[in-house]
């Protein structure tokens, strides 16, 4: 059975990177579909059509169908990844201002998805992640709505530990909880090394001890 993944906000920096990562990862196979969803304006559709050609040039051997649809109301994926919205990098917005700017878009996308694909799995990438999850959970089955904030911050936490220990991040498991961004809380009790190296274990113990002396705020 084929799988269809829709990316809302596929023309933005995060969405474009995500499309490439999905195709490179091999998560989709032959005859699966990657749907790039536009913003309902000609410029967005034109950019996505150009991105589609580049992706086909690079990944056509995988035989994944890459489709461009011009409007959010055209979404019909089994998995819907939401990357649309203003970001902290596009202009100097704090998270509260960014939430105020993005909530109308979150509402519009959630309404369209509730009408078109209520049984899809939704992954919210757009910031503020927690606000996006709340909006989608209010309009859709909350058990089918996921935010990626804690996962991304957990990867960053693991990367920081790996850098200090001079090893690969793949050798570290670590988790954080809390609001995505500055309010995240690193959970040192979850940190594990996949390498049975006593020297590294001692170094990790020293990092954990040092972390207890540094305030979180």
CATH 3.90.110.10 residue ranges for the chain: 150-211
Query: What is residue 140's predicted lDDT score, i.e. its pLDDT?
Result: 96
Rounded Cα distance between 199 and 178, Å, is 31
* Superfamily classification of domain 4-147: NAD(P)-binding Rossmann-like Domain (3.40.50.720)
* Residue 193: C-alpha distances to residues 36, 87, 173, 203 (Å): 38, 34, 6, 11
- Which of the 8 DSSP states describes residue 124? E
Rounded Cα distance between 83 and 201, Å, is 38
Catalytic (active site) residue 180? yes
CATH fold, domain 150-211, is L-2-Hydroxyisocaproate Dehydrogenase; Chain A, domain 2 (3.90.110)
Model confidence pTM above 0.85: no
Structural contact between residues 158 and 174, judged by C-beta atoms closer than 8 angstroms: yes
Q: What is the pLDDT along the chain (217 residues), one digit of tens a residue?
A: 899 999 999 998 899 999 999 999 999 999 999 999 988 888 888 999 999 999 999 999 999 999 999 999 999 999 999 999 876 555 556 777 888 889 999 999 999 999 999 999 999 999 898 999 999 999 999 999 999 888 888 999 999 999 999 999 999 999 998 777 677 888 999 999 998 889 999 999 999 888 878 776 6
Structural contact between residues 21 and 83, judged by C-beta atoms closer than 8 angstroms: no
Rounded Cα distance between 118 and 105, Å, is 18
Query: What is residue 184's predicted lDDT score, i.e. its pLDDT?
Result: 80
Query: What is residue 177's predicted lDDT score, i.e. its pLDDT?
Result: 86
CATH 3.40.50.720 residue ranges for the chain: 4-147
Query: What is residue 4's predicted lDDT score, i.e. its pLDDT?
Result: 97
Residue closest to 9 by CA, chosen among 84, 99, 92: 84
Query: What is residue 124's predicted lDDT score, i.e. its pLDDT?
Result: 95
Considering 180, 184, 191, 204, which one is annotated as catalytic?
A: 180
Query: What is residue 88's predicted lDDT score, i.e. its pLDDT?
Result: 58
């Amino acid at each position: 059975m084929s799988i269809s993944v829709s990316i809302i906000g596929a023309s933005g920096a995060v969405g474009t990177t995500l499309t490439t990562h999905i195709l490179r990862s091999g998560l989709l196979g032959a005859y699966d579909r990657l749907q790039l969803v536009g913003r309902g304006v000609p410029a967005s559709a034109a950019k996505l059509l150009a991105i589609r050609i580049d992706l086909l040039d690079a990944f056509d051997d995988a035989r994944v169908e890459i489709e461009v649809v011009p409007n959010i109301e055209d979404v019909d994926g089994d998995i819907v990844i939401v990357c649309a919205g203003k970001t902290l990098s596009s202009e100097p917005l704090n998270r509260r201002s960014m939430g105020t700017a993005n909530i109308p878009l979150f509402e519009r996308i959630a309404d369209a998805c509730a009408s078109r694909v209520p049984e899809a799995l939704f992954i919210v990438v757009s910031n503020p992640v927690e606000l996006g999850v709340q909006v989608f959970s209010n309009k859709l089955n909350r058990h089918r709505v996921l935010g990626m904030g804690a996962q991304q911050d957990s990867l960053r936490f693991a990367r920081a530990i790996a850098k200090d220990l001079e090893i690969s991040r793949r050798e570290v498991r670590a988790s954080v909880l809390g609001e995505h961004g500055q309010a995240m809380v690193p959970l040192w009790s979850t940190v594990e090394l996949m390498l049975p190296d006593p020297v590294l274990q001692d170094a990790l113990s020293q990092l954990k001890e040092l972390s207890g002396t540094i305030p979180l705020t």
